[in-house]
Structure 1
Amino acid sequence: MSTRNLNALFNPRSIVVIGASERATSLGGMVLRNLMAGDYGGKLLVVNRHGYDQVHGVACVRRVRSMKLVPDLAIICTPPETVPKVVRQLGEAGVRTAMVMTGGMSRSHSRNGQPLMYAVRDAARKAGIRVLGPNTIGIMSPSTNLNATYAHMGVLPGKIGFVGQSGTVCSAVIDWAFARGVGFSRLLTLGDGMDIGHDDLIDYLAEDPGTRAILLHMEHIPNPRRFISAVRAASRTKPVIAVKSGRYPESEYMPQPLPDGLTQSDPIYDAALQRAGVLRVNGLDEMFDGLESLSRMRKVRREELVVVSNGVGPGVLAVDRLKYQGGQLASFSEKTVEALQKRLPDYLSVRNPLDLGFDASPQLYADVLEILGKDPAVANVMVMYTPTLLEDTLHIADSVLKAVKRQRLNVFTCWLGQATVLDAREAFYEEGLPTFFSPEKAIRAFMHFVQHQRGQRLLAETPESWPEPEVDRQEARKMVQRVIRSRRDHLLHQEARQLISAYGIETLETAYCDDEDDAIEAFREWGGPVNVTLLHEAGCHPFLEETTGRGRYKATIRRLNDEQGVAKACRLLLEQYRKHFPNSGFLGFALHQTDAHLGGIGFSVGITRDAVFGPLIVCGSAGARVNVMTDRRVGLPPLNMNLAYELVSRSYMYRLLREYSHHPEDDSRGVCQTLVTLSQIISDIPEVRGLEILPLLFGTEGAVACDVAINLGEAVSPVIKPYPRELEETVVLKSGREVLLRPIRAEDEPRHLEFHESQSPETIRYRFFQYRNQFSHEDVARMVQIDYDREMVFIATESTEDGDERTLGSVRVWTDADNIHCEFAVMVRDEMRGEGLGRVLMEKMIRYCRARGTLEMVGNVLPGNESMNGLARALGFKVTYNDDEEVMDLRLSLNEPREDWQLDRVDGELPPI
């Protein structure tokens, strides 16, 4: 995750093309011709071992070492076996950025048997060169007249950044976009992506003022932690739309073993992209439709739609597609109905979809939009028109455009036909009003807009707080470590129950028996009814039903009421065990108090692990149903209550619960709390490879785990960094006041809002450089919902008399993608002045940033903020006055640069963070 040297890739002042010749089939020659045809204004040079004087009029030298300049960008188009050597030579010459366009390097091998692309990666790392490719189509940047590709045509200038994986797909995108009038700020492909990856480019484009939206095409995500972190940051300010190809095993670029309990890998990508705030679409056509809606439609709170057309048929087609995709029609208020009845002919009914009649005039369209604009229940309007002999399509379009300018409505259009409506569509496009060729495409684009808005709202929602159970985490970890030391890869049934019980998940009371006689003795003590389960080693592993077909025989016999029934059940279970699992060690029997007193719909919830994405939370049905119903939903930890509810609500089992449970709200809450607890187990005990609770039922006190299985593996952390509990500490201030210093959580939003609103106007001005008397939900949500990989906020809290917490102060840093600079901001309550809390917070943050390797801490302070300027000097900051910004610049060295490029960044002008 680094933008190091990427400016030389996107804005090179000089370029050398290595391997270019005047042969028609020369890859380097194609690139050179495109550079010249695009009027590239920088210096050009060619390197070719044949020693031409020039190639296409550009000076040529025989060797890299013969170059009389050090180019910003080197473009390598030589045969595969020569590329590693060329990269090493470029490094020796001082070149720091290169594109390797040569293909076939994943199939060509070096002497040690590795594909050549790995030799390129190793050479680049040793030489300190950033490399795009191998097998990249190159890069286009129309604003600087840069076309360093072998593409068959250029692109229009625009505000869209496109990052692709495949060169052939990118060629199609270029052609397609040109035909639709879509322009780009930057366009490139990764190819094999051995060095520069999606995350690096997303970080760059997120900060690029010329890019307003980012389009991604990907076949795989090699480093999901870096990718998700980069996209989460970018999607807060710019729409990010992605096409992920390889949805099925037969089409996957790099097939990976499926995680236990899952039958497909694509839902994992769905979960990851949704969590990152990305709109995922199903193809290139949908990508541009989604871009049309996200970049041109107005953001509104309501999702319901009004369909207006000059005929019944088109409106019905639109509504069919809307309902199919889960959309909703808006209802008209009585006042709106009355106004429409006065304006429409008597023979037309006022209903949604709204038919204006085949002879609808431009004025009628304008009047209807004006009426709808006054209805607070109407937010989104799809305006359709089918050509007739009575009206000119362009006149109707002009009327709609004029009406829309006077409205708050989110309006998009669908002019049906082709030959006679092109001028109208062009008029809409020029005015920035979304327009589509068919009702199906229009509705699909609108629903992309709706889904993106839902996803953004979900990520910004304040999660519900709930009293976490007191957990002895050290004891739970000790138990797992004991199991690992005994060289077992699973927990015994009683150990698994003990672990989840320690985390507050209720379990059934259980007696463990060595044989049939012990089972009968336990029954005598308890009485009936009871359930009897046979325990064996294979049965200690989760998701056994999906991998072994265990559901075809009885693992548990339920509701036994006498000793004879218990004895008979033990014999039957032994018989089936010997038949189905003859090589699995016998571990005895377990007697449970019957679950007949429990109700609700039985869920399967648990933890599984993917080779790429690491730990996952799963939820849904179980056994044969998981395959037939495809009902095992996937979420990425860590989860809060909002994210857990979103995960649960996607399952078919949730629909059954809502329909048939006697207490649907309580039961839903119980499932969500269990999922959040499983998420915490992943954070605390990363050795847990898999965990399945089957089934999860519901009692009067909440969810109850009837059975549980846990296996272990190598410690693996979630791809999204969880709440760093290890950074919590209690400190005592000068007055003896005891406060807790800890990282901020999303659940802190209400207290953080109160903290800001309680401050004096002057304190707010010192913190935000302006007077503010209000903070919106969106403002505070961004403050508290942070990515612990890129940001950190420490807050100081104290307990209140009602058992809640009160925020006393906060310190925050934003870190750039290269971990060079972090920018800080600190604020404490006015009443805390003189307690030394500001210094305590700053010292904790300095220790944290120094430990994570950040090189320099920077900040800006108003000259009148004497207390902060004095504290900065006391902490060792260099404080200087900035004439241009009229602020005090604060800089503190945290770590020494280890490489030249880091030194250049520290000494240079501060980049925006």
Structure 2
Amino acid sequence: MPQPQPAPRGSAAQKGQPTTLFDLPLSHPLRVFFAPRSIAVVGATERPGSVGRAVLANLTTAPFSGSVFPVNLHRSSVLGRRAYPRVTDLPEPVELAVIATPAETVPAVIADCVAAGTEGAIILSAGFRERGPAGQALERQVLEKARRGGLRLLGPNCLGLMNPRIGLNATFASGMALPGQIAFLSQSGALCSAILDWSLQEHIGFSAFVSVGSMLDLGWGELLDYLGDDPHTGCILLYLETVGDARAFLSAARAVARRKPVILLKGGQTPEAIQAAISHTGALAVSQEIFEAACSRCGLLQVESIDELFAMAEVLARQPRPQGPHFTIVTNAGGAGVLAADALAKAGGALTPLSSETRAALDALLPPYWSRQNPVDILGDADPERYAQAIAILSREPASDGLLVILTPQAMSDPTRTAERVAEAVAGNTRPVLASWMGGSSVAAGHEILTRAGIPTFASPDTAARAFCAMWRASRHLQSLYETPSVVDDPEESASRRAQVASVLTAARQAGHTLLSEPEAKAVLQAYDIPTVETRVALSEDEAVQQAEQLGYPVVLKLLSPTITHKSRIGGVRLALRTAEDVRQAYRAIAEAAERQAGAGQMQGVTVQPMITLEGYELIVGSFCDPQFGPVLLFGSGGRLV
């Protein structure tokens, strides 16, 4: 008699949640995509290998309980079902249309859908913006016709959408995802197909499986909003190449990340990959540095590989998040501990410093030649009981934010029984516990025991250490969501400051400047009470000496020029001038350097400042407007390091 298969990891069946078909409000704008009651397949055909055949077969062979209507101009039946020439010829209005016809025909199909009262459409067809101006013109036609009737669109150039919980497979993929609590959204349809195949092998389930394509209408923001409210979704995974509507994306991500993990993998991080992404989706690429800053500010966790994407989904679903970066490692092999410590340090974590109480307790338990530091090497002959007792001691270490248990199969090891004792020892732990059972068949049973106990288990200790660091980043990002700037000025004072700055900027514009001079820039800073070095302008050698004597030696001379911004690079800065003769020589040297490097007439004079000897940090602060993310602040090391 065949044995029943276990429920997919993190599935609704495991959680005891209902699997009702229509549990969303009928007014929800995205219900027609995730729980439609009727579907038209436009372009349905019996031609082997065609998208239209695959979609119709997927919808009719899966346990989807809604109505499905083939639409084909030239056939009266498709795959044994009556077919209709157009959407407007269907015997009843349909909520969702899945379109698999050539791109040139899609505007007319959308017009039919609007006329028939269809609420949503999934456009699988390729050949739009990714092919250039002609495709962009087609997109404009499609969007214009859809908006006339309030028709919402997913795609184009996408694989489609699955809701495994209700048996909905509106894709041309070769299989149906298992039900579970992970929502996966991808800008690459081919990647969806590969991950679907892998997930079936690994028995990983999904609450939603969505290929977003070019995001002509529906984008990341609305999909995140929907999945954030979906009670069947516990974790959201994204593969994206372009952001689309950045404001909607960031707003939704910030709200959803407070309630459930949002983990993303971004394609297009190198110049070569960015060009590939543009040709793939035809969309605007974004600076990787700006994207990473935005994600961390919204509480999102960015990972570097597909393996890490799903590993982190499992880790965050099964373990509490760490409150700090300190990781405690216990191992029966010193080399494995060293690998974990290296990976931890490189990923931004830190080894937990062991307290004197913890050391004393371990001294009483372990052989005298244990490592006496973290990683805690309990030696190759460690039996299950030694593991359990060491873990009990280390779990009480107040400085620790998480624990990694490593086992390598040695002659004295008992991987299976050790896994059982580890699971017992960490039950009820309020800090994350990860494991690495290294090896093959001899550790497989132990690996399964730990996994069933909710302890994420990795084949290598360095991967486990990186996973902990990613958990800490996720916690830190969430904490940053609650950081808001404080307002220190009253309205009248703020208005006065802005008026002072406006007068400086107006004068600079009227003078035709594209850059503020040093005195102008410092006037702006002083308006906001930002301390600056006293700066005086000298238009001649004699005036420079006069200003230096009034300020008091030693002084600094700097080139004053409307065109030369990097003064140090051309010799336009002279430091620690202690006499009038030093000032005269410095003035002449700066003038010669400016004429030599930039030509005559590029020097207006010099600025004279007191020589500051205080130690500190030289910083840069700047701002600019990114095409997608809007205003961006730059902050970092200044001076020559810029």
In the TM superposition, residue 101 of structure 1 has moved relative to its aligned partner by 0.6
The residue type paired with residue 182 of structure 1 is I
The residue type paired with residue 614 of structure 1 is G
What are the superposed Cα offsets for residues 676-712 of structure 1, whole Å, 9 maximum, x if unpaired? Answer: xxxxxxxxxxxxxxxxxxxxxxxxxxxxxxxxxxxxx
Alignment of 1:151-300 (within 5 A): 151-253=173-275, 265-300=287-322
- 2:322/2:471 contact within 8 Å kept: no
Runs of 5+ unmatched residues, structure 2:
1-26, 279-285
Structure 1 residues 559 and 345: alpha-carbon distance in aligned structure 2, compared to 1, 3 A threshold: closer
CA distance in 2, matches of 1:443, 1:53: 60
Q: Does 1:599 align with 2:615?
A: yes
- 2:383/2:414 contact within 8 Å kept: no
The residue type paired with residue 139 of structure 1 is L
The residue type paired with residue 234 of structure 1 is V
For 1:315, the equivalent position in structure 2 comes to 337
In the TM superposition, residue 520 of structure 1 has moved relative to its aligned partner by 5.0
The residue type paired with residue 136 of structure 1 is C
The residue type paired with residue 611 of structure 2 is D
1:7 to 22, 27, 31: 31
Alignment of 1:426-441 (within 5 A): 426-441=448-463
The residue type paired with residue 521 of structure 2 is A
- 1:532/1:589 contact within 8 Å kept: no
CA distance in 1, matches of 2:400, 2:551: 63
1:53 to 57, 76, 79: 76
CA distance in 1, matches of 2:359, 2:310: 36
- 1:373/1:408 contact within 8 Å kept: no
For 1:866, the equivalent position in structure 2 comes to none
- 1:163/1:217 contact within 8 Å kept: yes
For 2:636, the equivalent position in structure 1 comes to 620
In the TM superposition, residue 346 of structure 1 has moved relative to its aligned partner by 4.9
- 2:544/2:608 contact within 8 Å kept: no
2:605 to 579, 589, 598: 589
For 2:18, the equivalent position in structure 1 comes to none
In the TM superposition, residue 508 of structure 1 has moved relative to its aligned partner by 2.6
1:38 to 48, 62, 76: 62
What are the superposed Cα offsets for residues 889-911 of structure 1, whole Å, 9 maximum, x if unpaired? Answer: xxxxxxxxxxxxxxxxxxxxxxx
In the TM superposition, residue 445 of structure 1 has moved relative to its aligned partner by 0.8
TM-score, normalisation: structure 2: 0.86
The residue type paired with residue 72 of structure 2 is N
Which region of structure 1 is more displaced relative to structure 2, 487-496 or 207-216?
487-496
RMSD over aligned CA atoms reads 2.9
1:327 to 349, 355, 362: 349
CA distance in 2, matches of 1:588, 1:575: 13
The residue type paired with residue 96 of structure 1 is E
Q: Helix, strand or coil: the match of 2:631?
A: strand
Q: Helix, strand or coil: the match of 1:252?
A: helix
Q: Does 1:106 align with 2:123?
A: no
CA distance in 1, matches of 2:144, 2:539: 58
CA distance in 2, matches of 1:461, 1:209: 28
The residue type paired with residue 20 of structure 1 is A
- 2:319/2:455 contact within 8 Å kept: yes
For 2:110, the equivalent position in structure 1 comes to 87
Q: Does 1:535 align with 2:540?
A: no
- 1:101/1:136 contact within 8 Å kept: yes
Q: Helix, strand or coil: the match of 2:228?
A: helix
The residue type paired with residue 588 of structure 1 is Q
CA distance in 2, matches of 1:507, 1:372: 51
Q: Does 1:580 align with 2:597?
A: yes
Alignment of 1:631-780 (within 5 A): none
Structure 1 residues 568 and 165: alpha-carbon distance in aligned structure 2, compared to 1, 3 A threshold: same
Q: Does 1:507 align with 2:532?
A: yes
In the TM superposition, residue 69 of structure 1 has moved relative to its aligned partner by 1.9
CA distance in 2, matches of 1:368, 1:91: 67
In the TM superposition, residue 600 of structure 1 has moved relative to its aligned partner by 1.8
- 1:109/1:116 contact within 8 Å kept: no
CA distance in 1, matches of 2:341, 2:104: 58
CA distance in 2, matches of 1:381, 1:68: 62
Structure 1 residues 486 and 449: alpha-carbon distance in aligned structure 2, compared to 1, 3 A threshold: same
What are the superposed Cα offsets for residues 17-46 of structure 1, whole Å, 9 maximum, x if unpaired? Answer: 111101112112111112223221110011
CA distance in 2, matches of 1:281, 1:109: 31
CA distance in 2, matches of 1:578, 1:564: 21
2:47 to 8, 11, 23: 23
Which region of structure 1 is more displaced relative to structure 2, 403-412 or 133-142?
403-412
Structure 1 residues 138 and 270: alpha-carbon distance in aligned structure 2, compared to 1, 3 A threshold: same
CA distance in 2, matches of 1:355, 1:518: 72
In the TM superposition, residue 122 of structure 1 has moved relative to its aligned partner by 3.0
- 2:560/2:603 contact within 8 Å kept: yes
CA distance in 2, matches of 1:244, 1:300: 24
In the TM superposition, residue 59 of structure 1 has moved relative to its aligned partner by 2.5
In the TM superposition, residue 417 of structure 1 has moved relative to its aligned partner by 1.2
For 2:378, the equivalent position in structure 1 comes to 356
- 1:64/1:90 contact within 8 Å kept: yes
The residue type paired with residue 77 of structure 2 is Q
What are the superposed Cα offsets for residues 325-361 of structure 1, whole Å, 9 maximum, x if unpaired? Answer: 2322224444443443343345545543233333433
The residue type paired with residue 607 of structure 2 is L
- 2:164/2:178 contact within 8 Å kept: yes
- 1:19/1:78 contact within 8 Å kept: yes
For 2:282, the equivalent position in structure 1 comes to none
What are the superposed Cα offsets for residues 482-509 of structure 1, whole Å, 9 maximum, x if unpaired? Answer: 6556765443443322222111122232
In the TM superposition, residue 526 of structure 1 has moved relative to its aligned partner by 4.8
For 1:142, the equivalent position in structure 2 comes to 164
CA distance in 1, matches of 2:392, 2:543: 80
Structure 1 residues 62 and 614: alpha-carbon distance in aligned structure 2, compared to 1, 3 A threshold: same
CA distance in 1, matches of 2:350, 2:552: 55
Structure 1 residues 442 and 255: alpha-carbon distance in aligned structure 2, compared to 1, 3 A threshold: closer
- 1:415/1:435 contact within 8 Å kept: yes
CA distance in 2, matches of 1:336, 1:202: 45
Structure 1 residues 32 and 528: alpha-carbon distance in aligned structure 2, compared to 1, 3 A threshold: same
Identity within the alignment, %: 36
What are the superposed Cα offsets for residues 155-197 of structure 1, whole Å, 9 maximum, x if unpaired? Answer: 2211111111111222222233333332111111211111111
Q: Helix, strand or coil: the match of 2:618?
A: strand
Q: Helix, strand or coil: the match of 1:538?
A: coil
The residue type paired with residue 617 of structure 2 is I
The residue type paired with residue 32 of structure 2 is A
What are the superposed Cα offsets for residues 222-241 of structure 1, whole Å, 9 maximum, x if unpaired? Answer: 33222111111011111111
Structure 1 residues 17 and 491: alpha-carbon distance in aligned structure 2, compared to 1, 3 A threshold: same
- 1:108/1:115 contact within 8 Å kept: no
What are the superposed Cα offsets for residues 394-413 of structure 1, whole Å, 9 maximum, x if unpaired? Answer: 22222222222254453221
- 1:289/1:441 contact within 8 Å kept: no
Structure 1 residues 493 and 400: alpha-carbon distance in aligned structure 2, compared to 1, 3 A threshold: closer
What are the superposed Cα offsets for residues 753-786 of structure 1, whole Å, 9 maximum, x if unpaired? Answer: xxxxxxxxxxxxxxxxxxxxxxxxxxxxxxxxxx
